[in-house]
Amino acid sequence: MKRILIIGIGAGNPDYVTMQAVNALNEVDVFFVMDKGVAKEKLIALRKEICRRFIRGNDYRFAEATSPERARDVVNYQASVETLNDDKAAVFEQLISDAMSDGECGAFLTWGDPALYDSTIRIMESIIGKGGHDLEYEVIPGISSIQALAAQHKIPLNSIGGAIGITTGRRIAEGFPDNVDSVVVMLDAENAYKHFVDQDIDIYWGAYIGTPDEILVSGKLKDVAGDIERIRAEARRANGWIMDTYLMRRNRRREDN
């Protein structure tokens, strides 16, 4: 039997790696690394730095493969993600077959937490469901970008007694969720926060959280929306990619007065 660990390594800062993750790292024989191109070499470098820093000894290896990309010019987003996950599953299966032996432990190091907007768990379930491999796997949680965002801005995620939502840029563009005071938005490629500049909302935005490139902006949405859009575009041009998230919070008390 082969054993796979899906290890959450936190949102960019090696110090976010938990002791549970450190113990798991030291069980691994082979780490699977998905290459996403030159622009994202820093993400691979961080994974290797985490291994160098926390693994006792050097009796481990890396197996690398090119990560498939999602088709961007399709109407059906859901279908495009399902196709992407199928393509990733084929790559994962090949790595598991070719790069590790029975009795060994392999690992995928996932950014943030494996349970939050990451498909590695679904892909592993799909591979096991096909029945072609004798596999077992475990999931090790990590500090998500949501937790890191709140910590860096020194804010609680929820208002007192208030509900909080977690959604995507595509969803928030359809409207602020009902019965929610605070909403965290991830995967927003189109600056969807701009839909709400006419409302009394505070925003706490962060990019590359936990890394040396970290950028933080906060304030009244109507006052800082333009700054965020400009800074985000500049950072994307400079780095070739961007990874950001933000919290928007309604000021209901002021609206009620």
Q: How far apart are CA 200 and CA 89, in angstroms?
A: 44
pLDDT of residue 254: 44
Q: Does some domain include residue 257?
A: no
In the chain, the number of structural domains is: 2
Question: Pairing between strand 182-186 and 244-250?
Answer: antiparallel
CA 133 to chain centre: 27
Does 59 share its domain with 90?
yes
Mean pLDDT of the chain: 92
- Return the structure tokens found at 41: 């070499």
Tens of pLDDT, residues 110-125? 999 999 999 999 999 9
CATH number for the domain spanning 80: value is: 3.40.1010.10
> Is the pLDDT reported for residue 229 higher than 60?
yes
Does 133 share its domain with 7?
yes
Tens of pLDDT, residues 42-56? 888 999 999 999 999
pLDDT band for position 256 (50/70/90)?
very low
Of 140, 163, 181, at which residue does a domain stop?
140
Q: How far apart are CA 199 and CA 222, in angstroms?
A: 8
Largest CA distance in the chain: 66
> Is the pLDDT reported for residue 12 higher than 80?
yes
Does 216 share its domain with 244?
yes
Q: Does some domain include residue 221?
A: yes
Q: What is the CA radius of gyration of the chain?
A: 20
Does 131 share its domain with 223?
no
Q: How far apart are CA 177 and CA 174, in angstroms?
A: 9
- Return the structure tokens found at 195: 């839909």
**Count of CB atoms situated within 10 Å of the CB of 62:** 13
